[in-house]
Amino acid sequence: MKRNYFNIILMLVICLMASACKKFLEKEPINRTGKLTLFETVDGAKLAINGAYNLMLTYNRSEFGLYGDLSSDNVIKSATATTALPLFNFTSTPGDDEFAAGHIWLNIYSALNNVNNILEAVPGLKTKFPAQTSTLDSIYGQGLVMRALCHFDLSRTYAQPYNFTADASHLGVPVLTKTPSPGAEVPRNTIKETYAQIVTDLQAALPFLQQYANHTDQASISYQAALALLSRVYLYQGNWAQAASYATMVINDPVYKLADQTNYKSQFLNTNTKGANPKIGVIFQYNNIPSGSSIPASTVFPIYSDATGAQYTASSKLLSLYDADDLRANLFFVPSSGQNIGKVLSTKYGNGSLSTTTLTIKVIRLAELYLNRAEADWNLGKYTEAAEDLRIISQQAHPNRVITITYPSNADLYRQIADERNRELCFENHRFFDLVRRKENLVRGGDCNATTCSLTYPNNKFVLPITVKELEANHAIIPNPGYN
């Protein structure tokens, strides 16, 4: 869907004005009068879904989007970082309402509440405007995927992984399928119930999105994006057969193609390729056109990719994973001036400067689907198939030689798949979440300069605390252990 940037800005202003309260249950994100006005027409629904994309971008380019690498073994603090972020040092506390623990909760639930308003309004609009059913179905399908993503991202942040208990009976997050009334007290669902809603929404979105399967741009949620996200969710859930099956659906779709030597680096900076097939590398992303100071300091570019002031740089442990002819090594650069001389920065969010590029957040790429399938097949005992998907991704990264995969044991193959996943997806908000869902320890490298250089699984620190302000606003919420 083509999005008008004036409408996006207008919707963002409406959303921010309405969701200024720090406690998401105290106030609806769009007040009643605003909702009635906004959802009187199909154009209003378009405006609302544009605003929802912007809210999704907001939380993905800031603290949540930093979490997966900042809390992992992939980064070290640079000389320009005067104060280490709580996510890096595992020092988040229930009082961190103005830091990551509070911001991630607030920002994702603000996006979720706005999405629920859209989903609630669409059926009535379809009755009122039957000639616009196709447009409204598309909006509804996109909204369902957004709701699934919100619940999934919240669960990864505030709940232990699905396999933490044998029956997934441990606490997940509050599951909201409609915006709660002001002051309502909503308890946490189990992680099993949380994932059930995530899968339900993604599955329900498919028929609404399928009619647009080959015609959307990469900055809009497509049918293929919903399939790809189902593969990821099933992987986290340990449903290996479904993770592999949905990955295969996307891999076999000719609309998408793995990036090659000529366009591997550029896939991270391109906005979208609407109308052009095959689409290279990226299945779904959030676009953001930067304009000077509009990029806050706590977002992905100034943290990872700013040549003059990046606060976190690649660790020696991460860099040791790459061999000399791996083209993915070209996604790193060493600044020639400033305090980070000699340090290694990622270019996935810009080539050292925002002045000549567009910031994009890659939600899911085709390479991940091969890696999902490789891991799923390994868990199904299909070691030959797993090795072949590993070979395909490694061959993509080594165009100048023929790659063969050898492994002295099945356990060694699993480790190769895990390392390849990090080589391919580092700085894309995966690493820490992958460690936790695989029940692995966090062991940072010899150049670790955090106050915490290792954590043993299981660990209370593998989730963030729910802040005191949220606990006081919603007495039905049970806090995470080890913090309160």
pLDDT of residue 354: 61
**Residues β-bridged to residue 124:** none
Low-confidence ranges of the chain (pLDDT < 70): 1-37, 212-215, 289-298, 354-358, 484
pLDDT of 108-145, one tens digit each? 999 999 999 999 999 999 999 999 999 999 999 999 99
Peptide bond into 174 cis (omega under 30): no
By the 8 A CB rule, do 251 and 218 touch?
A: no
The pair of three-digit structure tokens given for residue 375, joined into one six-digit string: 């891991």
Phi, psi of 315 (to 5 degrees): -80, 160
Amino acid, res. 472: E
pTM: 0.92
By the 8 A CB rule, do 394 and 403 touch?
A: yes
Question: Whose CA is closest to 87, among 72, 109, 108?
Answer: 72
What residue segments make up the domains of the chain, in order of their start?
A: 5-473
Question: Whose CA is closest to 98, among 290, 292, 295, 298?
Answer: 298
pLDDT of residue 31: 46
By the 8 A CB rule, do 34 and 41 touch?
A: no
Query: Pairing relation of β-strands 279-280 and 256-257?
Result: parallel
Query: Domain 5-473, what fold?
Result: 1.25.40
Cα distances (Å, whole numbers) of residue 433 to 66, 70, 116, 175, 186: 12, 11, 26, 20, 26
pLDDT of 355-389, one tens digit each? 445 678 999 999 999 999 999 999 999 999 999 99
pLDDT of residue 17: 37
CA distance 148 to 173: 12
